[in-house]
Amino acid sequence: MFYLIGLGLYDENDITLRGLQTVKKCQRIYLEAYTSILLVNKDRLESLYEKEITLADREMVESNSDEILKDADTCDVAMLVVGDPMGATTHADLVLRARELNIPVRMIHNASIMNGIGASGLQLYKFGQTVSLVYFEGNYRPQSFYDRIKENVSLGLHTLVLLDIKVKEQSWENLARGRKIYEPPRYMSASLAAQQMIEVEEDRKEDICSADSLAVAIGRLGSDDQVIVSGTLGEIAEYDVGPPLHSVLLVGKEVHDMELDYLKMFAINKNNFERVAKLYLQR
């Protein structure tokens, strides 16, 4: 059997009981380590699970899936995934490859950012499309995320913005020269994400994600020191949420009064929050 096992949001203890029981019986265990990260080191997982774990980077998962799936038709192999197993298209591709090889597949689900964002007080069924925001570098400033947010805005829906992470990435020069030299890991902050969104708004001028838009920043969701703050996108652009990982939520205009009451608990400026929210909803 090939197992895709969700690890949850924070550390080694977030695995489900069913997931832990499955890990303990597997002959080979991989940890997918590039679409997201746990906030603890691999050795803590190995200590609790009492199993050796192999880190699976982008190259292994996308180009060497045969190595991962080898003999999974005669022994149990697990891929550990931060959050929920189906939170990334990469994992769907692994399932398809396994089934092409007649390898049975089973998934063990867990909490992910997609449902954990309910901690903000925004109601999950009022979210639209989730978008991803990548680092702007040089002339590379893609704006496709803006159009997806615009569609959500037209329906009054909230938007979850997932932020770029760079793990085991090569510079263009090292890539061109074939040198296996990797850049230090980088994790986009909520403040940088807000700055980039405001930058695109200043170019597009369609009032989709302006500095006055109501937003939420989340840091280290599910951890003991998680941070949730609400305010304008301009306020979040200046706010330090602390260490990674971060996410940003844009509040839709069909927001319920109870959602606003909940957001006020996290307001960067509580004395000004109601006025800011009222102005935003009247635009």
Binding-site residues for S-adenosyl-L-methionine, in ranges, read: 9, 84, 87, 112-113, 163, 221, 246
Helix (H, G, I), strand (E, B) or coil at 205: coil
DSSP sequence for 270-283: HHHHHHHHHHHHH-
Give kind and range of the element (H or E) at residue 83.
Answer: none
| Peptide bond connecting 263 to the previous residue in cis, omega within 30 degrees of 0 | no
What would the two tokens of residue 174 be?
Answer: 């090292």
DSSP sequence for 154-200: HTT-BEEEEEPEE-S---HHHHHTT----PPPEE--HHHHHHHHHHH
What are the binding residues? 9, 84, 87, 112-113, 163, 221, 246
- H helix and E strand count, the chain: 12, 12
Q: Tell which residue, 95, 7, 20, has the closest CA to residue 50.
A: 20
